[in-house]
């Protein structure tokens, strides 16, 4: 039964609901590594990811809406408060991204509140700079370890560097 479900997921991944599935690759490798112990719950999570209603794009400048809460100021100077899971909020709270031109994927909960897509099942936060689009990750040059939330390297405990990678 579990194998059948996993095969279904692979079929879903190949066909992809967004056309280009490559932005999901980092979370997919995490998912593979945890598949042995928690295969059923992970498969269920992936199914939920694909069962969600279509994502919406929100674009604008990353600002604070007060009390450290992240928000997007749109081109029309409208302020949209941002919700997300702790990992997403950690990225949005990174001071190095303050005032960045962000593209976020998720859903409007109200006209002034936007829930950014799940951190582990989709790439939902992109930076636009000089006409190019970048993914956000964090890099430890000492250990050559990449992570996806800001903070210290899991290995050497040095602060990781913000690493923007161009989306081609």
- Return residues touching Zn ion (CB under 5 A): 140, 142-143, 153, 155-156
Can you spell out the DSSP letters for 127-144?
A: EEETTEEEEEEEEETTTT
Burial string for 115-125 (b: 16+ CB within 10 Å, else e) reads bbbbbbbbbbb
Between 158 and 165, CB nearer to Zn ion: 158
CB of 23 to Zn ion, least distance (A): 25
The nearer residue to Zn ion, 43 or 143, going by C-beta atoms, is 143
Closest separation in Å from C-beta 136 to Zn ion: 18
* Buried/exposed code over 128-152 (b: 16+ C-beta within 10 A; e: otherwise): eeeeeebbbbbbbeeeeeebbbbee
* DSSP 3-state percent helix, strand, coil across the chain (nearest 5): 30, 35, 35
158 vs 140: CA distance, rounded Å: 8
> 39 or 147, CB closer to Zn ion?
147
35 vs 155 by CB, closer to Zn ion: 155
CB 163, min distance to Zn ion, A: 13
Q: How far is the CB of 116 from Zn ion (least distance, A)?
A: 27
Minimum CB separation from Zn ion for residue 48, in Å? 33
Three-class secondary structure of residue 105 per DSSP: strand
Cα(65)–Cα(99) distance, integer angstroms: 12
Identity of the residue, 109 or 152, whose beta carbon is nearer to Zn ion in the bound complex: 152
């Amino acid at each position: 039964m579990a194998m059948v479900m996993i095969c279904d997921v692979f079929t879903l991944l190949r066909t992809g609901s967004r056309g280009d599935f490559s932005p999901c690759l980092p979370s997919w490798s995490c998912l593979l590594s945890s598949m042995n112990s928690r295969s059923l719950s992970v498969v269920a999570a992936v199914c939920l990811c694909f069962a969600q209603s279509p994502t919406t794009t929100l674009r604008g400048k990353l600002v604070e809406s007060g009390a450290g809460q992240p928000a997007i100021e749109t081109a029309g100077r409208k302020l949209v408060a941002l919700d997300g899971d702790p990992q997403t909020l950690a990225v949005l709270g990174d001071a190095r991204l303050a005032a960045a031109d962000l593209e976020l994927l998720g859903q409007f909960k109200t006209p002034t509140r936007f829930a950014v897509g799940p951190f582990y099942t989709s790439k939902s936060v992109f930076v636009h700079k000089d006409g190019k689009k970048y993914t956000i990750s964090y890099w430890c040059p000492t250990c050559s370890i990449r992570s996806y939330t800001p903070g210290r390297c899991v290995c050497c405990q040095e602060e990781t560097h913000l690493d923007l990678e161009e989306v081609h």
